[in-house]
């Protein structure tokens, strides 16, 4: 499968309250939207984080084989399995398609080094590329103090290269507004062959900043998400630079 990810840059209120103890809003299919403006959180830096871990069910075969060889391990409590480079090579990436009010369109993503800028257009910045599944995951910052320049932002996640598909990872995207509870979107649907997922749309609707859950899985990459949402960018093949493990 060809990986279309380099970019030719060009111009072109209902919700679940979640657990009160965790101070979080969970966006679901039934309750998919929340207004940051109505929460008094449509300013400052909106932090968007992608984190993941491997599903423990995917390790069942290896665990059963280990128990056959070492029966006493069955007496030990189960281990909590977090995302780990030593366990499997997982590389989820976070990106954002943006459209500004003046018609400027583009992408912020690790591939191609399109990391954006938080204090100038597009007012969206990727903090870096987490290739090893660290606890901090990947983070994008949106400067909502410049919300009048922003028309819409599509936050997406994709699986780079030949790593496992979404059905083998438990991924979650969390939005941390400047005020009020965080907003969580889980990517728990099983799509074994999907390579990308449109997670959440952030729109400026007549001055109101609205967050809407998307969670639409596709079998291609950024170009397919572009077509689905009508961004109209020109895409080419892209790669990541190699790093020492």
Predicted confidence (pLDDT) per residue in 43-99, tens digit: 999 999 998 876 655 544 444 444 445 554 444 444 333 333 334 556 789 999 999
Q: What is the pLDDT of residue 204?
A: 98
Residues 6+ apart with CB under 8 A from 117: 123, 124, 125
Sheet of strand 169-176, all strands in order from the earlier edge strand to the far edge: 24-26, 182-187, 169-176, 45-54, 138-143, 124-126, 116-117
Strands (E) in 29-168, as ranges, are 33-35, 45-54, 92-100, 105-108, 116-117, 124-126, 138-143, 150-159
pTM: 0.77
Which tops the pLDDT comparison, 129 or 29?
A: 29
- pLDDT tens digits along 119-132: 999 999 998 644 44
Question: Does residue 233 surpass a pLDDT of 50?
Answer: yes
DSSP single-letter state for residue 128: -
Q: What is the pLDDT of residue 159?
A: 85
Q: Which tokens sit at 198?
A: 């449109």
């Amino acid at each position: 499968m060809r990986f279309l990810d380099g970019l030719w840059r060009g111009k072109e209120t209902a919700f679940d309250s979640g657990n009160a103890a965790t101070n979080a809003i969970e966006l679901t299919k039934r309750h998919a939207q929340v207004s940051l403006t109505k929460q008094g959180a449509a300013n400052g830096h909106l932090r968007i984080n992608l984190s993941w871990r491997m599903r423990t069910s995917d390790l069942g075969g290896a665990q059963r084989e280990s128990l056959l060889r070492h029966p006493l391990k069955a007496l030990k409590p189960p281990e909590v399995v977090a995302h780990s480079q030593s366990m499997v090579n997982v590389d989820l990436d976070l990106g954002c398609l943006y459209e500004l009010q003046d018609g400027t369109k583009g992408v912020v993503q690790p591939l191609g080094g399109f990391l954006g800028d938080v204090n100038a257009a597009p007012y969206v910045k990727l903090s870096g590329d987490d290739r090893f599944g660290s606890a901090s995951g990947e983070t994008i910052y949106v400067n909502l103090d410049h919300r009048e320049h922003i028309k819409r932002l599509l936050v997406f996640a994709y699986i780079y290269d030949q790593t496992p598909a979404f059905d083998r990872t438990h991924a979650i995207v969390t939005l941390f507004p400047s005020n009020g509870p965080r907003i969580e979107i889980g990517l728990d649907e099983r799509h074994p062959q999907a390579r990308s997922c449109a997670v959440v749309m952030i729109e400026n609707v007549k001055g109101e900043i609205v967050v809407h859950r998307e969670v639409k899985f596709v079998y291609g990459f950024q170009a397919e998400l572009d077509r689905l949402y009508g961004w109209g960018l020109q895409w080419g093949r892209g790669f990541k630079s190699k790093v020492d493990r």
